[in-house]
Amino acid sequence: MGHKRVKLLRFAKLPDFDFVFDEKQNFSAETLKEKAAGRSVVFELACGKGDYTLGLSKLFPKNFFVGMDVKGERIWVGASKAQEHGRDNIAFVRGRIERILESIEKNFVDEIWITFPDPFPRLKQAKHRLTSPVFLERYKKILKPGGTLHLKTDDQSLFEYTLEAVQACGGTVQRAIANIYQEGMVEDILRIQTDFEQKHLQKGRKIYYISFCLN
């Protein structure tokens, strides 16, 4: 079966999961609130196959994790693994991140993870970066006071850009690591590896990490 056909079949099967939502069809902030059921809420943006969502949900079973990505085929992979492992503290939302965030209630989210997003290296694409000032303002609205954001990337330019963007908007950089695997003991939350990270490491690339607060 061709790769394109596999993608289409997986996309068609997304409605089979009662914890997977589509931004254009059956997603609402109220539904997400009901699923969270009062638990601390953690978003993973550009989640891909949901590796970080899955890893964090295992480390923190009392929290509620939401992975978001525009690629339905990737979400199918994460949803299948979540179902296989019986995770009841996970949801996935397929759609454009900026549109999903627009519907989220103020002060609803405790933490946000941004894992290996597209760095949009060209200057005219900067507004699309998930750590651009436009997105940072969106995060301010949905995060609880003191909520933490995490960026994990293999792109040095995005790492440096994010440090400047956070400081420019009045945020606080809590931690910045230029190569997490040269730091000695790597804590559990940073040891989780996405599919993209594994490929980057095989190529000998450094992995950068920032944690920061916006208010």
- What are the binding residues for substrate? 154, 194-197
Instruction: Provide the total of helices (H) and of strands (E) in the chain, helices listed first.
Output: 9, 8
47 neighbors 114 (Cβ within 8 angstroms): no
18: annotated active-site residue: no
Please pick, among 18, 88, 118, 188, the residue that the annotation labels catalytic: 118
Cα separation, 168 vs 107, in Å, equals 22
Which strand (E) or helix (H) includes residue 39?
A: none
Range 139-177 burial, b when 16+ CB lie within 10 A, else e:
bbbbbeeebbbbbbbbbeebbebbbebbeeeebeeeebb
CA distance 47 to 75: 8
State how far Cα 40 lies from the chain centre. 15
Whole-number Å distance between alpha carbons of 135 and 28:
20
Active site amino acids:
118
